[in-house]
A and B are shown apart, each in its own frame.
Chain A
Amino acid sequence: MSFGESCSATEGCITCGDTAIVLTVVSIDDADACCQDATGRTERVATELVGPVEIGDRLLVHAGVAIELLPHDGVPEA
């Protein structure tokens, strides 16, 4: 599901549903990053809770806030 359907009639509210989505950083603006999903939709995401990010990083995003920085190889650090 895309954040563009954040509260659709069929899927419900993704924030209420504890759903987190994976977005890719396309640009950085201070503590926020402009992120994109697989369909090309973009969203401004707060990044303070994952530390510094770089363009191309994959973030797990919930309610407009990144809650995890995902490793490029799919395996997080211990």
Chain B
Amino acid sequence: MRFVDEYRDPDLARALSAQIAALTEPGRHYKVMEVCGGHTHAIYRYGVHDLLPDNIELVHGPGCPVCVIPMGRVDDGIAIAEQPGVILTCFGDMMRVPGGRGSFLEANARGADIRMVYSPLDALRIARENPDRQVVFSAIGFETTAPSTALTVLRAEQEGVENFSVMCSHVTIIPAIKAILDSPDLRLDAFIGPGHVSTVIGCRPYEFIAREHGKPVVCAGFEPLDVLQSVHMIMRQLAESRCEVENQYGRVVRWDGNPLALKALSQVFELRPFFEWRGLGSIPQSALRFTAGYARFDAEQRFELPGVQVADPKACQCGEVLKGVLKPWECKVFGTACTPETPIGTCMVSSEGACAAYYNYGQYSRQRLDLQVL
């Protein structure tokens, strides 16, 4: 398949692996954070970590959209869904995220009308088809997903659909990276930047990481050779004592991102003063809310929400996993009480979550794909 097979070439993978090893300094331990859950998934799925020397450690970051949703937001969604005449819609993995009062899936079983959608545009279609019901879209995700919500709201306005609103839990990646850089728990050497978020925001927003923190960033694609090449680019920067933002995913990502998507985002959304992230706590200006011009589509204004903070279960160590302080298998309940079938923490819900990725493709493998590379 064009644009796929060439990024899974075993000979190229072996050559890159050898070049990476040659760039490492003996006795030095390197920690590279892949920010995006999509990279975590690719690394475990294709066994990319097995192609790296022992002294390069890949640390999993907070870029899994459902993993960072705090339990209180799930409860807020359930509170909306339980109101008469409401249809709550959400993406697939959100159905299984545990809240203080269970998951959306469990609320559905109790009688709430909660429906899974592939796109926010599907939620708008449901609103058109059910003019006597209030249809709410529970929006999650980083800058990859937020433009699709913004576009849907613009279409709802254009079409005059009044029974549609959005519970907005969209978050932004840069403040989360800043929180990790400010964390005393973790020493990192470099970042693999999120490929699809960068399609929207571009590479420029990461420049402060190189300039102010002295750490290389390489925006990367999601095929195994993309990840390997990004590690190679990072190792070359470190070997040459350079700190720059580089774009490995040039076939998709433009340096300044997608201006039409950014325009839609700024038209519909603005930054919240604070937002609670699971594991990272409250981070200023790290999430989106509606601008005054589109506030009538804000489900948080249309419905009364409990807005209660709910503490994570004591046994769950998702917070440490999300910050890269703990590896998935170091969590006390990993693979025992917490599995993809019965997740306690969010990192076990989404396949992009570090725990689920490791559970599915790591030593607890149910169906690890043999990386044809090996």
A78 to B255, CA, bound (A): 7
Docked-complex contact B352 and A77, CB < 8 angstroms: no
Pick the contact of A20: B66, B93, B196, B367 (CB < 8 A): B196
Docked-complex contact B121 and A60, CB < 8 angstroms: no
Question: Closest residue to A39 on the B side, CB-wise?
Answer: B1
Docked-complex contact B199 and A67, CB < 8 angstroms: yes
Given contacts A17-B37, A18-B142, contact A64 B118 (CB under 8 A): yes
Docked-complex contact B352 and A18, CB < 8 angstroms: yes
Interface size of B by CB at 8 A reads 52
Q: Which of A46-75 contact B (CB under 8 A)?
A: 46, 48-51, 60, 62-65, 67-68, 70, 74-75
Residue B193 at the A interface, CB < 8 A?
A: no
C-beta contact mask, B91-105 vs A, less than 8 Å → 1, else 0?
111100000000000
Nearest Cβ distance between residue A60 and chain B, in whole angstroms?
6
Question: Closest residue to B249 on the A side, CB-wise?
Answer: A76
Nearest Cβ distance between residue B18 and chain A, in whole angstroms?
26
Q: Which of A7-48 contact B (CB under 8 A)?
A: 7, 10-13, 15-20, 22, 38, 46, 48
A22 to B199, CA, bound (A): 13
Pick the contact of A16: B92, B147, B254 (CB < 8 A): B92
List chain B residues, Cβ under 8 A from A22: 3
A67 to B195, CA, bound (A): 12
List chain A residues, Cβ under 8 A from B63: 18
A54 to B155, CA, bound (A): 22
Residue B116 at the A interface, CB < 8 A?
A: yes
Given contacts A74-B3, A74-B251, A76-B254, contact A17 B38 (CB under 8 A): yes
Given contacts A17-B37, A18-B194, A20-B199, contact A64 B93 (CB under 8 A): no
Given contacts A7-B92, A64-B119, contact A17 B41 (CB under 8 A): yes
Query: Main secondary structure on chain A at its contact with chain B?
Result: loop
C-beta contact mask, B239-268 vs A, less than 8 Å → 1, else 0?
000000000001111110010110010000
Residue B122 at the A interface, CB < 8 A?
A: yes
Docked-complex contact A12 and B197, CB < 8 angstroms: no
Given contacts A50-B258, A75-B250, contact A16 B119 (CB under 8 A): no
Interface size of A by CB at 8 A reads 33
Docked-complex contact B254 and A78, CB < 8 angstroms: yes
A13 to B91, CA, bound (A): 7
Docked-complex contact B147 and A49, CB < 8 angstroms: yes
Docked-complex contact B250 and A18, CB < 8 angstroms: no
A67 to B141, CA, bound (A): 14
Given contacts A12-B350, A74-B3, contact A68 B148 (CB under 8 A): no
C-beta contact mask, B71-82 vs A, less than 8 Å → 1, else 0?
000000000000
Docked-complex contact B351 and A18, CB < 8 angstroms: no
Pick the contact of B200: A48, A67, A70, A76 (CB < 8 A): A67
Pick the contact of A46: B121, B142, B145 (CB < 8 A): B121
A20 to B198, CA, bound (A): 12
List chain A residues, Cβ under 8 A from B264: 48-49
Q: Can you list 12 pairs linking A and B with CB atoms under 8 Å apart?
A: A10-B360, A16-B66, A17-B351, A18-B38, A18-B142, A18-B352, A20-B144, A46-B155, A50-B260, A65-B119, A67-B199, A76-B254
